[in-house]
Chains A and B, each alone.
Chain A
Amino acid sequence: MKHAPEPPRSSGGRDTTPSGISLKVTYPAEDPRDLPGEFPFTRGIHANMYRGKLWTFRQYAGFGNVEETNRRFRYLLEQGQTGLSVAFDLPTQIGYDSDDSLAGGEVGKVGVPISTLEDMDALLEGIPLEDVSISMTINSTAAMLVAFLVGVARKRGIPPQKLRGTVQNDMLKEFISRRTYRFPVAPSLRLVTDIFEYCQQELPRWNPISVSGYHMREAGSTATQEVAFTLANAIAYLEAARERGMPLESLTRRISFFWNAHNHLLEEIAKFRAARRLWAQIVRERFGVVDPECGRMRFHVQTAGSTLTSQEPENNAVRVTIQALAAVLGGTQSLHTNGIDEALGLPSQASARTALRTQQILAYESGVADVADPLGGAPAVEALTTAVEDEVRKILERIDALGGTLRAVEEGLPQQAIEEEAYRQQKEIESGERNVVGVNCFRDESSGSTEAAAQGVDVALEPKRIETLRKRKAARSKARIASLCARLRADAGENKNVLPALVECGEGGVTIGEMATTLAQVYGEYHE
C-alpha cells in the first residue's frame, strides 16, 4: 500500500481568523429571519453548513478497464477523497456489451466498461461498500447497474439497506442534452420511476436520482436555463412518482441535484441560492409537501469542462478554482473539480491530484468554509439571486403553458433554446464580445502547442476485454440465460417493476447488453 498523506489535524470550519478575530457561524442578512437551514433554504440547507460537515470531495473517474479504474479509486481514497464517482464507458451507458459491434472503439474510453456482475465486483474490489458512498453516472441502464451493485453487496454479505450513494437516473436531460438514450421517452420515464420505487423499498439510504443541469450547461445553456429546465424535469419526475402512488414525503428527501459551476462567480453563487429557494417552494406549493425537511435541495457540483481551453492549459487551474469557489460559496454538498487537461482528454494522475488539492485548499486554507453563506445579505448577491429566481419562473411558466415538461422535451423546446445559445456564445467568442483569456485575448503568439498531457487509453485494452467477455459468456448455460431474460421480458410487458428481475438476471450472469436488448423488445428504441 502506498504511503497515504497525513490528514489535516484541524477541521475545515474554524471560529477565528488568522488575526484572531472571532467568526460567527453565520451573519444576518437583510431579513434576520432569513437564515441558513431555514425554509426556503436560500442561504443553505444546514444551519452551521461546513462547520458541521465539509462537502464531499468526489472526483469522477473511470477509464480503460476495471482493474485500472479500481487502482485510481483506491489512489483517490488514499489521497483524502471522501466518496467515489464512477464514470462508465458509452457502451455500458447505452446498454451494449463490450463485444458488441456497435461498441467498436468506445470500450473503456470515457469510463469503465461494465457488462456483468463480475465486472462490477472487480471494479469495487477492496472498497468497503458500507463506508464509502458511491455515485454512478448512469441513466438509460441505471436499473441494470443498481441491480449489479445490489448483487455485489449480497455476494459480500452486506445488506443492500446499508448502501449509500447516488444513481444519476435522469433520463429527461439525456433527451435534452447528454444523449445516452436507448429507449423512448415514456418507457425511459417508467424505468426512472421503477428505480425510485425499488430504492424506497430496498435501498433506503440511496439517492435514486440526481436531477442534472450540468450537461445542459455544457451543451450551451445559460445559468437560468440550466436551473429552469432542470427544475422542470424534477417536477416531471415527482409527477410520475405521484401517479405511481408513491409517497412524495420520502422521495423528496432522497432527490438530489447536479449543477455546473461556470466562471461568473457572482451569477453562479446567485444561481445556487435561487435554485434552493425555488425547489423548496415547488415542493411545498406544487406538490403540497409541507414538511420543510422535504424541500431541502441537496446537490453535487462539477466545474465546467466546456470553459477549459486547450490553449495555455495551465490557466485552467485558475478557472477551476473560481468555479469551485462559486460552488462552495453557493453551499454545495459535494464537488468535482476538473483537471486542467480535460479540454483534450482524460486527466492524468498529476492533474487529477491538483484538481483534488484545489478542493482541499478551499476547505482547509481559504477559510470560506468557516461561515455559512458568507455572501448572504450582500446587495449584489441578493439582487442577483432574486433576478435568477424571476427568470427561472418565467421559463417554468412557458413550459407549463406548453403542457408540461414531457411535451416541451418532445417538441424540442429546451434543445432548441440550448442550441441557439451555444451558437450565440461561439459567435461572441469569435467577435471578441466574450473574453477567453489566452484564446481570444492576451494570447501568447510565441508559445508552442499545449504542454498538457491528457491521458490516453491503451488501444490494446479493447480486444483483450472483448476476448475475456466472450469466453465468460460462452461458459454460461444458454437455457438459464434465456429463462432469466424471459422473466424480465414478461415483467416489462406486464408493466411490473423490472428491478427484481434485473437483480435476478445480474446474479444469474445475464449481461447488460442482453438485459437492454430484452427491454428494447418490449419498450422499443429511441432515434432522434
Chain B
Amino acid sequence: MSDQGSQRDPPIRVLLAKPGLDGHDRGIKVIVRALRDAGMEVIYTGLRVTPATIALAAVQEDVDAVGISNLSGAHRTLLPEVARQLEQAGVDLGRVALFGGGTIPPEDHPELLAAGFRAVFGPGTPTTEIVRFLEKEVRS
C-alpha cells in the first residue's frame, strides 16, 4: 500500500535557504545533493537572503518543506523570523515542514521548536536522517 502510494506521489519539493550574512555553505550544498539523490526536487536560494525573500520563494515554489541553515550564531534571531515571515505569507506550518540545521547548540533547540521548527539538525547528522525525516513529515 505505502509502496504503491509512494510510486504515485509526486516528488517532495524542498526549499533550502541561508538567511543573514553567513557564508558557511558546505553543509547546505551537501544537503542539496543528498536530497536530489534521494529523488526530491530542491530549490536552493544561495547566500544572504532575507527571511521575507525566503517566505516569498516558499509560496511561489509551492514547496512541501523549508530547510534553513545557519552557522554564524545568528540562529536565535533569524530562524524565528523565517517562521514568522512564512506564516505572514500564508504558509501553513502544519502542512509545510520547517526544519533547521547548523552549529546550533542543543540548549537553543526548544525555542526554535516552539517557533515552528519541526526539527533542528546538528553537525555530523547523516544526510539519510534528513531524508527519512522529510519522507515521514511530508508523506504522513
Report A's interface with B, CB cutoff 8 A: 90-91, 93-94, 96, 102-106, 109-110, 178-180, 218-220, 306, 309-311, 343-346, 419, 422-423, 426, 429-430, 436, 439, 449-450, 454, 456-457, 459, 462, 528
In angstroms, Cα B33 to Cα A426, docked, is 11
Residues 1-28 of B contacting A (Cβ, < 8 Å): 20-26
Residues of B near A426 (CB, < 8 A) are 30, 34, 127
In angstroms, Cα B50 to Cα A426, docked, is 28
B26 partner, pick from A218, A309, A430, beta carbons under 8 A: A218
Q: How far is the CB of B130 from chain A (nearest CB, A)?
A: 11
Task: Say yes or no: B33 contacts A106, CB within 8 Å.
Answer: no
Given contacts A103-B21, A449-B106, contact A310 B124 (CB under 8 A): yes
Q: How far is the CB of B123 from chain A (nearest CB, A)?
A: 5
In angstroms, Cα B77 to Cα A102, docked, is 12
Task: Say yes or no: B47 contacts A528, CB within 8 Å.
Answer: yes
Extra contacts besides A102-B50, A109-B74, A344-B123 (20): CB < 8 Å:
A102-B48, A103-B21, A104-B78, A105-B74, A105-B77, A106-B72, A179-B23, A179-B25, A180-B23, A219-B25, A219-B26, A220-B26, A309-B124, A311-B124, A343-B103, A344-B103, A422-B29, A426-B34, A436-B124, A450-B106
Q: How far is the CB of B116 from chain A (nearest CB, A)?
A: 17
In angstroms, Cα B33 to Cα A346, docked, is 29
In angstroms, Cα B24 to Cα A104, docked, is 17
Q: Check: B110 CB closer than 8 A to any chain A CB.
A: no
In angstroms, Cα B18 to Cα A179, docked, is 12
Task: Say yes or no: B30 contacts A344, CB within 8 Å.
Answer: no
Q: Check: B46 CB closer than 8 A to any chain A CB.
A: yes
Task: Say yes or no: A90 contacts B124, CB within 8 Å.
Answer: no
Task: Say yes or no: A104 contacts B22, CB within 8 Å.
Answer: no
Q: Can you spell out 19 A-B residue pairs with CB atoms less than 8 angstroms apart? A: A90-B21, A90-B23, A104-B20, A104-B74, A104-B78, A104-B81, A106-B72, A109-B74, A110-B72, A220-B26, A309-B123, A344-B105, A344-B122, A422-B29, A423-B34, A429-B126, A430-B126, A456-B73, A459-B77
Residues of A near B78 (CB, < 8 A) are 104-105
User: Closest 6 CB pairs between A and B?
Assistant: A105-B77, A179-B23, A105-B74, A109-B73, A90-B21, A106-B74
Task: Say yes or no: A105 contacts B124, CB within 8 Å.
Answer: no
In angstroms, Cα B75 to Cα A459, docked, is 11
A430 partner, pick from B48, B74, B106, B127, beta carbons under 8 A: B127
In angstroms, Cα B94 to Cα A267, docked, is 50
B76 partner, pick from A90, A105, A110, A346, beta carbons under 8 A: A105
How many residues of B sit at the interface, in one of the four size bands? 20 to 34
B73 partner, pick from A179, A345, A450, beta carbons under 8 A: A345
Task: Say yes or no: A105 contacts B20, CB within 8 Å.
Answer: yes
In angstroms, Cα B48 to Cα A350, docked, is 33
Q: How far is the CB of B124 from chain A (nearest CB, A)?
A: 6
Q: How far is the CB of B84 from chain A (nearest CB, A)?
A: 13
Q: Quick one: CB contact mask for B80-119 with A, threshold 8 Å, 1 for yes?
A: 0100000000000000000000010111100000000000
Given contacts A454-B105, A528-B47, contact A106 B127 (CB under 8 A): no
In angstroms, Cα B48 to Cα A462, docked, is 19
In angstroms, Cα B34 to Cα A108, docked, is 33
Report B's interface with A, CB cutoff 8 A: 20-26, 29-30, 33-34, 46-48, 50, 72-78, 81, 103, 105-108, 122-124, 126-128
Q: How far is the CB of B127 from chain A (nearest CB, A)?
A: 6
Q: How far is the CB of B74 from chain A (nearest CB, A)?
A: 4
In angstroms, Cα B77 to Cα A218, docked, is 25
Q: How far is the CB of B66 from chain A (nearest CB, A)?
A: 18
Q: How far is the CB of B103 from chain A (nearest CB, A)?
A: 6
Residues of B near A439 (CB, < 8 A) are 124
Task: Say yes or no: B21 contacts A91, CB within 8 Å.
Answer: yes
In angstroms, Cα B75 to Cα A462, docked, is 14
Residues of B near A344 (CB, < 8 A) are 103, 105, 122-123
B33 partner, pick from A90, A178, A179, A423, beta carbons under 8 A: A423
Task: Say yes or no: B124 contacts A106, CB within 8 Å.
Answer: no
Q: Across the interface, name the chain B residue whose C-beta is closest to A90.
A: B21
Task: Say yes or no: A343 contacts B20, CB within 8 Å.
Answer: no
Residues of B near A423 (CB, < 8 A) are 29-30, 33-34
Given contacts A309-B123, A345-B73, contact A178 B26 (CB under 8 A): no
Residues of A near B20 (CB, < 8 A) are 90, 104-106
Task: Say yes or no: B26 contacts A310, CB within 8 Å.
Answer: no
Residues of B near A419 (CB, < 8 A) are 29
Task: Say yes or no: A110 contacts B26, CB within 8 Å.
Answer: no
B103 partner, pick from A102, A345, A422, A462, beta carbons under 8 A: A345
Q: Across the interface, name the chain B residue whose C-beta is closest to A311.
A: B124
Task: Say yes or no: B122 contacts A310, CB within 8 Å.
Answer: yes
Q: How far is the CB of A416 from chain B (nearest CB, A)?
A: 11
Residues of B near A179 (CB, < 8 A) are 23-25, 47
Residues of A near B23 (CB, < 8 A) are 90, 178-180
In angstroms, Cα B22 to Cα A344, docked, is 15
A528 partner, pick from B34, B46, B128, beta carbons under 8 A: B46
Instruction: Give the one of B25, B106, B108, B124 with max A CB within 10 A.
Output: B124
Task: Say yes or no: B76 contacts A459, CB within 8 Å.
Answer: yes
Residues of B near A110 (CB, < 8 A) are 72-73
Task: Say yes or no: A306 contacts B26, CB within 8 Å.
Answer: yes
Q: How far is the CB of B78 from chain A (nearest CB, A)?
A: 5
Task: Say yes or no: A422 contacts B128, CB within 8 Å.
Answer: no
Instruction: Give the one of A344, A457, A459 with max B CB within 10 A.
Output: A344
In angstroms, Cα B47 to Cα A218, docked, is 17
In angstroms, Cα B103 to Cα A180, docked, is 18
Residues of A near B48 (CB, < 8 A) are 102
